[in-house]
């Protein structure tokens, strides 16, 4: 499979499922894993003003519908 055959992340939002909870910037690395596609969105601030993010994951190499 060459690079052009790889599905582009984010083109089908139904393929991405959300990981439970919201994450601080430095927590994101704990949920990243090789081989999956991720989509990360800003999701407000914690009470101490730290930005929070929602993380969505797609199983590797999903074919777009």
Helix, strand, coil shares, percent, the chain, to 5: 20, 30, 50
54 binds another protein (CB under 8 A): yes
18 binds another protein (CB under 8 A): yes
23 binds another protein (CB under 8 A): no
Q: Measured from the CB atom, is 12 or 28 closer to another protein?
A: 12
Under rule CB under 8 A, how many of the chain's residues touch another protein?
15
38 binds another protein (CB under 8 A): no
Tell which residue, 11, 3, 2, has the closest CA to residue 64.
11
Per DSSP, the residues of 15-34 read: G-EEPSS-EEGGGHHHH--T
| Interacting residues with another protein (CB under 8 A) | 10, 12-18, 20, 39, 41, 43-44, 54, 56
């Amino acid at each position: 499979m060459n690079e052009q055959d790889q599905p582009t992340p984010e083109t089908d939002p139904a393929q991405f499922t959300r990981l439970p909870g919201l994450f601080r910037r430095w927590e994101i690395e704990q949920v990243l894993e090789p081989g999956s596609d991720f989509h990360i969105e800003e999701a407000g601030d914690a009470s101490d003003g730290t930005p929070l993010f929602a993380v969505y994951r797609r199983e590797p190499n999903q074919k777009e519908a």
